[in-house]
Amino acid sequence: MALNLDAVGKKIGPISKEYTWKDAVLYALGVGAGFSDLEYCYEKDLKVVPSFAITTLYETMPQALSLTNVNLAGILHGEQELVFHNPIPPNGTMTIEGTISNVYDKGEKKGALVIAESEANHSSGIKLFTARSTIFSRLDGGFGGENPPAETIEFPDRDPDFSVDASPSENQPLIYRLSGDVFQLHVDPEFAKMAGFEKPIMHGLCTHGYACRALIQALIPGQPEQARRMACRFTKPLYPGMPLKTLIWKTEEGKAVWRVQNMETGDIVIDRGVFEYGDIPKDEIRFDGRVAVVTGAGAGLGRVYALELAKRGARVVVNDLGGARDGSGEGSSTPADQVVAEIKALGGDAVANYDNVATPEGGQNIINSARDAFGTVDILINNAGILRDKSFLKMDPNNWQSVLAVHLNGAYHVTRPAFAIMKEKGYGRIVMTTSAAGLYGNFGQTNYTAAKMGLIGLMNTLKLEGQKYNIKVNTVAPVAASRLTEDVLPPDFFEKLKPEFVAPMVLYLSSEECPVTGNIYNAGMGCYNRAAIVTGPGVVIGKGQEIPTPEQVVDTWENIASLKNAKEYTQLNEQIGDLLAAFTPKKAETAEPAATDGGSVADIFNAMADTFNAEAAEGVDVIFQFCISGKDGGDWACIIKDKTCTIDAGMNEQAVCTLKMADNDFRDMMTGKLPAMQAYTSGKLQIEGDIMKSQLIEKLFKI
Ligand code: NAI
> pLDDT tens digits for 509-518?
999 999 899 9
302 vs 702: which has the higher pLDDT: 302
Distance CA 183, CA 191 (A): 10
Residue 584's pLDDT is 66
Mean pLDDT of 38-54: 96
Quick check: is 580 in a domain? no
484 lines ligand 1 (CB under 6 A): yes
**pLDDT exceeds cutoff 50 at 249:** yes
Which atom of ligand 1 is nearest the CA belonging to 358?
Answer: 18
Is residue 428 domain-shared with residue 547, that is, in the same domain? no
Residue 1's pLDDT is 59
Ligand 1 centroid, distance to 473 Cα (angstroms): 19
Given the residues 19, 58, 427, 448, the one annotated as active site: 448
Residue 396's pLDDT is 97
Nearest CA to ligand 1 atom 43: 435
Distance CA 254, CA 130 (A): 19
Quick check: is 574 in a domain? no
Is residue 120 domain-shared with residue 260, that is, in the same domain? yes
Ligand 1 centroid, distance to 496 Cα (angstroms): 19
Ligand 1: residue of 449, 484, 485 to mutate (most ligand atoms within 8 A of CB) is 484
435 lines ligand 1 (CB under 6 A): yes
Quick check: is 561 in a domain? yes
Quick check: is 587 in a domain? no
Query: How many CB atoms within 10 Å of residue 628?
Result: 22
Q: Are 418 and 292 in contact (CB under 8 A)?
A: no
200 lines ligand 1 (CB under 6 A): no
Nearest to 527 by CA among 462, 587, 479, 577: 479
406 lines ligand 1 (CB under 6 A): yes
Predicted confidence (pLDDT) per residue in 203-244, tens digit: 999 999 999 999 999 999 999 999 999 999 999 999 999 999
Mean pLDDT of 300-305: 98
665 lines ligand 1 (CB under 6 A): no
Residue 588's pLDDT is 44
Is residue 268 domain-shared with residue 310, that is, in the same domain? no
Which atom of ligand 1 is nearest the CA belonging to 320?
Answer: 21
**pLDDT exceeds cutoff 90 at 589:** no
Q: Are 212 and 227 in contact (CB under 8 A)?
A: yes
Is residue 230 domain-shared with residue 320, that is, in the same domain? no
| C-alpha dihedral, 176 to 179 to 182 to 186, nearest 10° | -10
Residues 6 or more apart whose CB falls under 8 angstroms from that of 221 comprise none
Mean pLDDT of 276-282: 90
3-state secondary structure 488-550: CCCHHHCCCCCHHHCHHHHHHHCCCCCCCCCCEEEEECCEEEEECCCECCCCCCHHHCCCCCH
Beta bridge partners of 624: 638, 657
Mean pLDDT of 488-505: 86
Alpha-carbon Rg for the chain in angstroms: 31
Residue 587's pLDDT is 47
Is residue 605 domain-shared with residue 665, that is, in the same domain? yes
**pLDDT tier for residue 592 given thresholds of 50, 70 and 90:** very low
Beta bridge partners of 113: 104, 136
Is residue 515 domain-shared with residue 647, that is, in the same domain? no
Give the strands of the sheet with 11-19, arranged side by side.
11-19, 92-107, 111-122, 127-137, 75-84, 227-234, 268-277, 255-262, 244-252, 162-166
478 lines ligand 1 (CB under 6 A): yes
| Of the listed ranges 44-53, 260-269, 473-482, 580-589, the one predicted with least confidence | 580-589
**pLDDT tier for residue 485 given thresholds of 50, 70 and 90:** confident
**pLDDT exceeds cutoff 90 at 575:** no
Ligand 1 centroid, distance to 325 Cα (angstroms): 8
Residue 3's pLDDT is 86
Active site residue 528: no
**pLDDT tier for residue 383 given thresholds of 50, 70 and 90:** very high
Quick check: is 78 in a domain? yes
**pLDDT exceeds cutoff 90 at 643:** no
Ligand 1: residue of 318, 319, 320, 501 to mutate (most ligand atoms within 8 A of CB) is 320
Is residue 428 domain-shared with residue 298, that is, in the same domain? yes
Residue 483's pLDDT is 85
Helices 204-219 and 21-30 meet at what angle, rounded to 10? 90
Nearest CA to ligand 1 atom 41: 480
403 lines ligand 1 (CB under 6 A): no
Tell me which residue range forms the domain holding 678: 593-700
Of 46-60, 477-491, 658-672, where does the model show the most confidence? 46-60
Is residue 635 domain-shared with residue 655, that is, in the same domain? yes
Ligand 1 centroid, distance to 290 Cα (angstroms): 23
Quick check: is 585 in a domain? no
Quick check: is 126 in a domain? yes
Is residue 327 domain-shared with residue 455, that is, in the same domain? yes
Distance CA 555, CA 561 (A): 12
Total domains, the chain: 4
Ligand 1 centroid, distance to 482 Cα (angstroms): 8
Predicted confidence (pLDDT) per residue in 166-208, tens digit: 999 999 999 999 999 998 889 999 988 988 899 999 999 999 9
358 lines ligand 1 (CB under 6 A): yes
Ligand 1 centroid, distance to 363 Cα (angstroms): 16
**pLDDT tier for residue 245 given thresholds of 50, 70 and 90:** very high
Residue 697's pLDDT is 77
3-state secondary structure 679-696: HHHCCCCEEEECHHHHCC
Distance CA 344, CA 291 (A): 15
6 φ, ψ to 5°? Answer: -65, -10
Quick check: is 573 in a domain? no
Q: Are strands 428-433 and 686-689 parallel, antiparallel or unpaired?
A: unpaired
**pLDDT tier for residue 598 given thresholds of 50, 70 and 90:** low
Q: Are 202 and 267 in contact (CB under 8 A)?
A: no
**pLDDT tier for residue 699 given thresholds of 50, 70 and 90:** confident
Residue 595's pLDDT is 38
Is residue 511 domain-shared with residue 602, that is, in the same domain? no
182 φ, ψ to 5°? Answer: -100, 25
Ligand 1 centroid, distance to 362 Cα (angstroms): 17
Mean pLDDT of 626-645: 88
Nearest CA to ligand 1 atom 44: 435
Is residue 227 domain-shared with residue 80, that is, in the same domain? yes
Nearest CA to ligand 1 atom 1: 300
**310: CATH:** 3.40.50.720
Which amino acid, 312?
Answer: R
Ligand 1: residue of 380, 383, 527 to mutate (most ligand atoms within 8 A of CB) is 383
* Angle ∠(532,498,351) on CA atoms, nearest 5: 90
Strand residue runs (E) in 235-358: 244-252, 255-262, 268-277, 291-294, 315-319, 349-353
**75: CATH:** 3.10.129.10
Predicted confidence (pLDDT) per residue in 400-439, tens digit: 999 999 999 999 999 999 999 999 999 999 999 999 999 9
Ligand 1: residue of 301, 321, 361 to mutate (most ligand atoms within 8 A of CB) is 301
302 lines ligand 1 (CB under 6 A): yes
Buried-state track 218-227, b at ≥16 Cβ within 10 A, e below 16: bbbeeebbbb
- Calculate the average pLDDT of the chain: 91
Predicted confidence (pLDDT) per residue in 525-540, tens digit: 999 999 999 999 999 9
Is residue 99 domain-shared with residue 231, that is, in the same domain? yes
Query: How many CB atoms within 10 Å of residue 529?
Result: 9
Ligand 1 centroid, distance to 383 Cα (angstroms): 6
Residue 380's pLDDT is 98
What stretches of 107-162 show up as alpha helix (H) in DSSP? none
Ligand 1 centroid, distance to 300 Cα (angstroms): 7
